[in-house]
Amino acid sequence: MSSQYEIRNTNIKITIVAATKLELNPLFDEFQPKQAEFIGLYIVNENLHFLITGMGMLNTAAHLALYSAKYNRDFFIDAGVCGAFNRNLKIGEVVQVISETYGDFGVENDEEFQDFFDLGFIDKKEDAFQYGLCEPILSDFHTKINLPKATSITVNKVHGNEKTIKIIEEKYQADTENMEGLAFYYVLKLIQKPGIEIRAVSNYVEKRNKENWNLKLSIQNLNKELETIIKHLK
């Protein structure tokens, strides 16, 4: 991973980023943040902001980039739910995502999927990627977060086709998938700020069956962990 980022400011400014307000409802109920003029921004105080970007990589990248240009923050936390390929992860379990890459950015060649790294259109060692993976800039904050580590892909569609799932599992061997994480880490790499992605498993990646999902449990556990992290960082 990237080199250590030292935090010297004792007044730590934390921003929690999420795609939807639903995923942070328990924390909103507890902290009662006030909506700011900046779109999607809710402020508790100078040290704690919530940024609701909207779903997907485009929304996350655009809103986070604009926000970070306006507000100078010390540490960012991307929070949300995810699907798990790895069946060793339990529904409701909270993990820290240590690497992200594209999960559906490429071309289909009959039954083979080739991403743009395979095709040579993206350099696997360009600024934000190392060997095709985008990883967080580490800081001394990370030593205070003790959660199971997981790898992830970021997708524009949630996988629900058994044949496609098998292809993606074999190709990336990722533990989880989500729709925003890569954009989060990519922007932080560009602005050279430390952050961490925290995800709670709401379902397994399988043929779509929402009866097997548990959003309530995953959101509950996610917010408990976030509350603990906020206290430890402050």
Range of the structural domain that residue 91 is part of: 14-204+211-233
Mean pLDDT, rounded, of the chain? 90
- How does residue 114 score in pLDDT terms, banded at 50, 70 and 90? confident
Average pLDDT value for residue range 56-74 = 97
Strands (E), the chain: 14-18, 34-35, 41-45, 48-52, 75-84, 94-102, 106-109, 112-115, 149-154, 176-178, 195-204
pLDDT of 6-63, one tens digit each?
444 457 899 999 999 999 999 999 999 999 999 999 999 999 999 999 999 999 999 9
Q: Decide if pLDDT at 3 tops 50.
A: no
The CATH code of the domain that includes 169 is: 3.40.50.1580
Instruction: Report yes or no on 1 lying in a domain.
Output: no
Average pLDDT value for residue range 74-81 = 97
Instruction: Report yes or no on 191 lying in a domain.
Output: yes
Instruction: Report yes or no on 6 lying in a domain.
Output: no
- How does residue 118 score in pLDDT terms, banded at 50, 70 and 90? confident
Burial category of 53 from C-beta neighbours within 10 Å (exposed 0-12, middle 13-18, buried 19 and up) = buried
- Range with the lowest mean pLDDT among 57-71, 72-86, 148-162, 216-230? 148-162
Instruction: Report yes or no on 114 lying in a domain.
Output: yes
Instruction: Report yes or no on 2 lying in a domain.
Output: no
Instruction: Report yes or no on 9 lying in a domain.
Output: no
Q: Give the residue, 117 or 39, on which the prediction is more confident.
A: 39
Average pLDDT value for residue range 71-92 = 97
The angle formed by the CA atoms of residues 159, 76 and 48, to the nearest 5 degrees, is 120
Q: How many domains does the chain have?
A: 1
- How does residue 128 score in pLDDT terms, banded at 50, 70 and 90? low
Please indicate, yes or no, whether the overall pTM of this predicted structure exceeds 0.85. Answer: yes
Instruction: Report yes or no on 144 lying in a domain.
Output: yes
Instruction: Report yes or no on 3 lying in a domain.
Output: no
